[in-house]
Structure formats: structure tokens, C-alpha cells
A and B are shown apart, each in its own frame.
Chain A
């Protein structure tokens, strides 16, 4: 175990040098190899936000959109029906038994089916149809729900990305988590509350006429400015989907912040028509079921641009413009988890973490030197190499260092000497029975090997499980712990062993070492 071939020695030190090289990349910006250890949100400051989409309203909305096509289909094919009812999750219709098969065939038609989409991805229909006596029950199939959910999630991620990019946040992370959630990580933001508000808004914008009579096809909405109750038609004149741009501006006359919007061609046409026909009436600008403003139409607006004023502050008009530009979310989104760390706390954490690392390191080094003298020194050299290699590998992988991650490094420092302790203690035992010191070292290393491997594999298992199940900072801990084990094995079994072999084989000094 003490003999090393030249190639082995060269590769050991090459690997070490490579790792140290990577570790030094963190010291200054290097244009050639741009790799660095990333700091986690807990060290750098920033927000971790987990969002969950709520697809229930979407299901209802989609079912609503099927009502007219289904009725048309039934009428066209002379299928008599009554009691057409729609709930949040299903549609029920009473149909005579002898017509049920006909309806079923139409409902599950493979080609040109405008009602029940065939999802080629799953080879299934989006809607299910069941008969119970003379009642037909239509609801989303499991696959229909999945595809609805996936589409909504993808679209939401797109829109959230637009909103965050628009805010100018640097290096945001936006990821899908599971089938209903979106993870947003925003390093170094100063105002998480504003971001949260922007992320959570559905931002469904509609222009609708204010009507006089409180009849069917209209609803009561509150004007957010003065809490006035307005009766607003349910018919949407133009919606946010027709918007191509929105910018915050100051009104020329009142100098109030406003939002100027531009509609696409179709939107401009509709808007022009409605404003021409309804001069004198009020047009409600509705955002997520609350009326921002309801100005009177003074003249027809055909240019496809207009302004929204609602007593905004400049910040509010900026945010509204941003929301309108990015488009509306297909389904409401809720924040289910949030973790925000301010930048000053992050800095305090780094300082405390690094300080405790240095102190812990010095204590362990002193202890090992006092205990094992010259071989303690060997173990300390390998401990320093170990630390540098850990940083090197973290850099190579561009891993994220978190506060628990720093704790993982410190823990590794404490535990890393274990391999050397195991080996030295073993050698000590061998020295009692073995006359030849070289032989004692050899068998010592050999016998301890199995134990060292067994002992480290168990910790590696724990680290792997932490990595798989942990989230955020805890994952960072698992990464450093795992890397630490690998570098520890390397430094104990290659580096320290080689250094030991130099000392032992060169003989003279071995008496110093007071094992």
C-alpha cells in the first residue's frame, strides 16, 4: 500500500491541482472559464416563492364554453333534451333513451369534433359522457383534466416569466414543480411584496358597457376608486387578449399617472364600433372583477389606442401596464410558500458561517497536530487539500452554496480526519506486533480500507437521500456533505497515503512520530 507508480503520483497531484485551479476561479472574474460557486438565497438575500395554480375556475369556464356548442349539436341532430344544467364540474342533460346512442356517437366522433377534443397525446377524449336512466352527465375525463392543467401551467409559467423579466430582476429562476406548482427564485430583490402582488394577479382585463337595468346578462361590480356599485354587462367588448402594448404615462392635462394601451386590429375594430354606437354611455374597464374606472364615452375611438386613468400612483400605473403587457393568467394563482431573506441578513450569515468555518478548521488542525505530530501534519495537509477540492468541485459543478451548505463543509472538516484517524490507529496497533515499520504501515492501510469505505458509504447514503428529498438550503447541505465524502476518501487514501509513504520510506524521521 505504500508503493506508488509514477503515473499514480502524477495523476494524484494533477487532480489536486485541477481542483485547486477551479477553487481559485472564485477569487476574481475570469473571462475564459466563467465558473463560480453560486450563493443560495439564504446567503445572498432574495425570495423563494412557490406558486400553485387553481384550475377549478378554469374547468368551470371551459364547461361554460361547451354549453352553446352542445345545444347546437343537439338541435341540429333533432335530439330532444330538457333540464340542461351546468355545475362547477359537470353538465347534466335529460335525453330520451332512444336518442342516447346517437348523442354518444356524435359526442365521441373522432373527426371534426368541435365539442369534445381528442387528445392525441394520450389517445383519449377530453370529456367523458355517462348515462344514468335518461340523464346524460358530461364532465372532464382524467386525461382532459391533465391536459387542461398542463396547458394552464405552461402558459402561466410563460406569463410569469414575462412579468419577472419586465421587472428587470437579475438571474431569476422559474421552474415547474410537480403538476400544479411553479417555483420562482429571485436573488437580491429589494421589494418582494411588490413582486408577490404582481405574480399573483390574474390580470384579466375586459372592457364592458355599464348598463342601466339589472337584468340577466349583467352583474354588479364595485368601482375600486369610490366603492360605487355599477351594473356592468357581462358581454365583453374587448379583452386583454386584444392588447398589444401598454405603457405608463402622465396625462397631459391633469398630470396624473395613466396607462396608455394599444389594441390589435381586431380589437381596434370592435372598440371603434362599440364606442361609435354608444356615445354618452359609460364603458367599464374591469380588471379581475373590479372596475378600475368607468369613463363616459365622449366620442368614438377608432385609432385602437386609449388610456386608463383611475387615480393611480406612478408605481400603480407602471405595475398595471406591466400586467397588461404580460397578459392574463389562465387560472388564479396562489402563493403556497414563501421564504425571503434580506441582503443584510444574508451577509451576516456568510460572515458568521465563514468565521465559524475558520475557527472550527483551526481547532481540528491543532488537535490533529498535537495528537499525531508529523503525521498529524500530513493529515492536516490533506485536510486543507480536501477543503480546496471541495470548493473546486463546487465551482466545477457551479453548485449553490447555502448556509446549511457551509455547515456541511464544517462538518466534513470534523469528520474528514476520521479516515486518517482510523488508519493511524490501525497502524499503531500493527506496530505493536509488527517489527518492520513499513510493513506495519502497509497492513494498517490495507486493513483500515474496508472500514473506511463502509463508514463513508453510510454517510453518503444519508447525503443522497437528503439530496433527493431535501429542498432549497437543505439540498445545499446534502451537496457539500456528499462532495466532502468523495474528497475525503481521495485525500486520505491517495494524498495522505502518498505523503505518509514519503516519510516512512525515507526512514530517518519516523521516530518523531509518536503514534
Chain B
């Protein structure tokens, strides 16, 4: 069975939709910003397990009413009695701080507390990590651009990059809208999304190139249409198997991987969409024809 969906008719609607989504994302990123974790903002993160399971989240909040800590954020984390605490103070300014804090909390709530995870990042390191993360994403984009440019034409490379930026901006936009925490693992997720979305785009581009060389009379738009249809079942199957794996991490992989797998799930869905509805029409906008490809081969 071969699908015959008229994608080129949908391109316009899809592009307007994408444009709106990107604009909304940018607005959110600009005005609301991202909820940076301690990796990028500095401060301290504690994953605690409270022995007495009857202790409520507000008990913990009030036990942390210590001005020195700065802005405190407490949330439930997976099982009953597990909480995630974040505060602005860098715990390493004072080496006994964590030990003292543990005693204070357990005294105030009247239950033993187990600090299962402690992460504290100083302001200098956090800004470096943020810079590193951004550099990594920019470099990945650059490297992809270069690879596609070598393997295809510059128009393809532009199409792919437009699709990638679209994916990253919308994924981060959704993180901003939902106030989900952005930390190091989200950067890893974004980079993987970049790889995945590119992967998807390349498969379709490969087919477009092949079809452009095969049919000289058909318009680029229709070629894109044919190519997307021909590769559609692969696109869907691969996205499905990847999503199966990702949902299994998201649901069963534990709290720490939740944000990471959520970003990846978003990325795979958006990336699949963009390789069909963003990357391919770009080729048409740039008037890629058989001649574009042949011209290059003469050189």
C-alpha cells in the first residue's frame, strides 16, 4: 500500500501553523523565559526521602523557611515521601551547610530525612555550563548544515536548518509554557532531537533528490509530494518505534529521566512533522529543480 496524501496542498496551512507556533514559542521564551535548573542557574538541588510518609509538602516548605536559602522550591518527586528541593544558595560556600540543613529539616518536621541526591553548582560553573550547552547546540547545527551542504545542495541545507531551528524553538517554547526545568540532560535531549530530526529530513531529501533526477517534467512541489508519500510509511514506523522506546523511559525509567524523555518525545513528534511540512516546502521556496542538481554535477 502506498499512501497518496496531497501534502503540497497542506504545506501552506502547515507552514502558517508552524509560523504561529514558532512565534508563540519565541514570545514565551522572550517574556516568560526558561525555568533553568541548578546546572544553569547555580544553587542547590536536593532529592530527599522522608521516613515518615505522612509528612506533607507544606511541612517541608515551612521547615525550609530560612532566609539564607533564598528562593526555595519544593515539589513531590515520584513516590510518596520523595521530594525535590531547590534553593538559590550554593551549598558549598560553607562546607558544613548540608549536614546542618539535614539536622534542621529533620528536627522541624520530626522525621528522619535521607538526602538521596545533592547537587550544588556555583555561579561561575553554572554560567559556563550554559555557555557550553549553547555552544554545543550551535556547533551541532553548524556541523549538520555543513554535512548536508556537502552531500546535497545549499538549498537542502537551508531547508534542513530551518526545520531544525523550528524543532528546537518549539520544543523549548513548550518547556517555557509548561515551566519544565531545563538542565544539562535537556541539552543532551535537544542535541539528540537535532540528530533525529536531521535523520528524518535526510531520508526525505534523499528521495527528493532521487526523484528530481528521475522526473524532469514534474514540478518541485509535486516531487516533494511524491517523495514524502513514498517515504511516509518509513517515517511513521521509525517514529513509532522510537516513541515506543521513549514512552517506556518516560513512564518506567524513573523520575530523573522524566524531563529528558519528555523533551525527546516532543522532539521526535515535532521533528517528524517538520521534516515533512517544513523542510520539504523550503526546497520549493528556493526553487530547487532538476537543473539545480545537474548544474552542480557539471562542476
Between A42, A334, A338, A470, the greatest number of chain B beta carbons within 10 A of the residue's beta carbon is seen for A338
In the complex, chain B residues 41-80 whose Cβ is within 8 Å of any chain A Cβ: 47
**CA–CA, A337 to B140, complex, Å?**
26
The stretch that binds B, out of A31-39, A270-278, A411-419, A434-442, is: A411-419
Decide if B133 touches A469 in the complex (CB within 8 Å).
Answer: yes
Decide if A345 touches B125 in the complex (CB within 8 Å).
Answer: no
Decide if B248 touches A363 in the complex (CB within 8 Å).
Answer: yes
B 68-111 binary contact with A (CB < 8 Å = 1; else 0): 00000000000000000000000110011011000000000000
Residues of A within 8 A of B203 (CB): 422, 451, 454-455
**CA–CA, A238 to B98, complex, Å?**
35
Known pairs A403-B256, A407-B249, A458-B195; A466 contacts B237 (CB<8 A): no
Decide if B95 touches A474 in the complex (CB within 8 Å).
Answer: no
**CA–CA, A344 to B116, complex, Å?**
7
Decide if A367 touches B254 in the complex (CB within 8 Å).
Answer: no
Whether, in the assembled complex, A193 has its beta carbon less than 8 Å from a beta carbon of chain B, the answer is yes
Q: Shortest distance in angstroms between A476's beta carbon and chain B's nearest beta carbon? A: 10
Decide if B92 touches A414 in the complex (CB within 8 Å).
Answer: no
In the complex, chain A residues 284-333 whose Cβ is within 8 Å of any chain B Cβ: none
Decide if A471 touches B184 in the complex (CB within 8 Å).
Answer: yes
Q: Shortest distance in angstroms between A429's beta carbon and chain B's nearest beta carbon? A: 7
**CA–CA, A403 to B132, complex, Å?**
21
Q: Shortest distance in angstroms between A174's beta carbon and chain B's nearest beta carbon? A: 18
Decide if A462 touches B192 in the complex (CB within 8 Å).
Answer: yes
Decide if A50 touches B238 in the complex (CB within 8 Å).
Answer: no
Decide if B238 touches A418 in the complex (CB within 8 Å).
Answer: yes
Residues of A within 8 A of B99 (CB): 193
Decide if A196 touches B115 in the complex (CB within 8 Å).
Answer: no
Decide if A415 touches B242 in the complex (CB within 8 Å).
Answer: yes
B 242-269 binary contact with A (CB < 8 Å = 1; else 0): 1111111101111011001100100000
Decide if A451 touches B206 in the complex (CB within 8 Å).
Answer: yes
Between A368, A371, A411, A417, the greatest number of chain B beta carbons within 10 A of the residue's beta carbon is seen for A411
A 461-484 binary contact with B (CB < 8 Å = 1; else 0): 111011011111110011001000
**CA–CA, A421 to B234, complex, Å?**
6
Q: Shortest distance in angstroms between B152's beta carbon and chain A's nearest beta carbon? A: 9
**CA–CA, A412 to B150, complex, Å?**
26
In the complex, chain B residues 198-254 whose Cβ is within 8 Å of any chain A Cβ: 198-200, 202-203, 206-207, 210, 230-231, 233-234, 237-238, 240-249, 251-254
Per a CB cutoff under 8 Å, which of B116, B207, B237, B253 touches A356? B253
Decide if B117 touches A414 in the complex (CB within 8 Å).
Answer: no
Q: How many residue pairs between the two chains, A and B, have CB atoms under 8 Å in the bound complex?
A: 228
In the complex, chain A residues 191-211 whose Cβ is within 8 Å of any chain B Cβ: 192-193, 196-197, 200
Whether, in the assembled complex, A8 has its beta carbon less than 8 Å from a beta carbon of chain B, the answer is no
Decide if A371 touches B95 in the complex (CB within 8 Å).
Answer: no
Whether, in the assembled complex, B40 has its beta carbon less than 8 Å from a beta carbon of chain A, the answer is no
**CA–CA, A222 to B251, complex, Å?**
57
Whether, in the assembled complex, A336 has its beta carbon less than 8 Å from a beta carbon of chain B, the answer is yes
**CA–CA, A399 to B295, complex, Å?**
47
Known pairs A404-B188, A413-B245, A462-B194; A356 contacts B252 (CB<8 A): yes
On chain B, the number of residues with a Cβ less than 8 Å from chain A's Cβ atoms is: 72
Per a CB cutoff under 8 Å, which of A407, A451, A458 touches B257? A407
Whether, in the assembled complex, A360 has its beta carbon less than 8 Å from a beta carbon of chain B, the answer is yes
Decide if B185 touches A359 in the complex (CB within 8 Å).
Answer: no
Decide if B254 touches A455 in the complex (CB within 8 Å).
Answer: no
A-side interface size class: 35 or more
Decide if B92 touches A410 in the complex (CB within 8 Å).
Answer: no
Known pairs A348-B254, A469-B139; A459 contacts B195 (CB<8 A): yes
Q: Shortest distance in angstroms between A339's beta carbon and chain B's nearest beta carbon? A: 5
Residues of B within 8 A of A90 (CB): none
Whether, in the assembled complex, B24 has its beta carbon less than 8 Å from a beta carbon of chain A, the answer is no
Residues of B within 8 A of A455 (CB): 199-200, 202-203
Known pairs A339-B118, A342-B116, A367-B240; A466 contacts B144 (CB<8 A): no
Per a CB cutoff under 8 Å, which of A357, A425, A471 touches B233? A425
Residues of A within 8 A of B174 (CB): none
Residues of B within 8 A of A200 (CB): 95
Whether, in the assembled complex, A457 has its beta carbon less than 8 Å from a beta carbon of chain B, the answer is yes
Q: Shortest distance in angstroms between B196's beta carbon and chain A's nearest beta carbon? A: 7
Whether, in the assembled complex, A149 has its beta carbon less than 8 Å from a beta carbon of chain B, the answer is no
Whether, in the assembled complex, B136 has its beta carbon less than 8 Å from a beta carbon of chain A, the answer is yes
Q: Shortest distance in angstroms between A315's beta carbon and chain B's nearest beta carbon? A: 12
Whether, in the assembled complex, B120 has its beta carbon less than 8 Å from a beta carbon of chain A, the answer is yes
Q: Shortest distance in angstroms between A407's beta carbon and chain B's nearest beta carbon? A: 6
B interface secondary structure, majority: helix
Q: Shortest distance in angstroms between B211's beta carbon and chain A's nearest beta carbon? A: 12
Whether, in the assembled complex, A450 has its beta carbon less than 8 Å from a beta carbon of chain B, the answer is yes
**CA–CA, A334 to B116, complex, Å?**
23
Known pairs A197-B95, A417-B241, A469-B135; A459 contacts B198 (CB<8 A): yes
**CA–CA, A169 to B16, complex, Å?**
60
Whether, in the assembled complex, B12 has its beta carbon less than 8 Å from a beta carbon of chain A, the answer is no
Residues of B within 8 A of A477 (CB): 185, 188, 192
Whether, in the assembled complex, B122 has its beta carbon less than 8 Å from a beta carbon of chain A, the answer is yes
Residues of B within 8 A of A450 (CB): 206
Whether, in the assembled complex, A340 has its beta carbon less than 8 Å from a beta carbon of chain B, the answer is yes
Q: Shortest distance in angstroms between A158's beta carbon and chain B's nearest beta carbon? A: 21
Whether, in the assembled complex, A139 has its beta carbon less than 8 Å from a beta carbon of chain B, the answer is no
Per a CB cutoff under 8 Å, which of A415, A465, A478 touches B196? A415
Whether, in the assembled complex, A106 has its beta carbon less than 8 Å from a beta carbon of chain B, the answer is no
Known pairs A352-B253, A356-B251; A454 contacts B206 (CB<8 A): yes
**CA–CA, A353 to B248, complex, Å?**
10
Whether, in the assembled complex, A364 has its beta carbon less than 8 Å from a beta carbon of chain B, the answer is yes
Q: Shortest distance in angstroms between B105's beta carbon and chain A's nearest beta carbon? A: 15
Whether, in the assembled complex, A4 has its beta carbon less than 8 Å from a beta carbon of chain B, the answer is no
**CA–CA, A197 to B233, complex, Å?**
59
Decide if A414 touches B246 in the complex (CB within 8 Å).
Answer: yes
Residues of B within 8 A of A359 (CB): 248, 252
**CA–CA, A393 to B136, complex, Å?**
26
Residues of A within 8 A of B98 (CB): 193
Whether, in the assembled complex, A456 has its beta carbon less than 8 Å from a beta carbon of chain B, the answer is yes
Decide if B92 touches A454 in the complex (CB within 8 Å).
Answer: no
Per a CB cutoff under 8 Å, which of A338, A371, A451 touches B119? A338
Q: Shortest distance in angstroms between B226's beta carbon and chain A's nearest beta carbon? A: 12
Residues of A within 8 A of B234 (CB): 418, 421-422, 425
Per a CB cutoff under 8 Å, which of A336, A404, A465 touches B143? A465
Q: Shortest distance in angstroms between A340's beta carbon and chain B's nearest beta carbon? A: 4
Per a CB cutoff under 8 Å, which of A410, A421, A447, A465 touches B140? A465
Residues of A within 8 A of B140 (CB): 461-462, 465-466
Whether, in the assembled complex, B9 has its beta carbon less than 8 Å from a beta carbon of chain A, the answer is no
Between B92, B136, B245, the greatest number of chain A beta carbons within 10 A of the residue's beta carbon is seen for B245
Decide if B143 touches A367 in the complex (CB within 8 Å).
Answer: no
- Top 3 nearest A-B pairs (CB, nearest first) are A414-B245, A462-B195, A352-B254
A selection of 6 A-B contacts at a CB cut-off of 8 Å is A339-B117, A352-B257, A355-B253, A463-B195, A466-B140, A469-B132
Q: A410-B245, A455-B203, A466-B188 are in contact. List 16 more A-B contacts (CB 8 A).
A: A52-B124, A192-B118, A193-B96, A336-B121, A338-B119, A338-B121, A341-B116, A344-B114, A349-B256, A364-B241, A421-B234, A451-B207, A459-B192, A459-B198, A461-B147, A465-B143
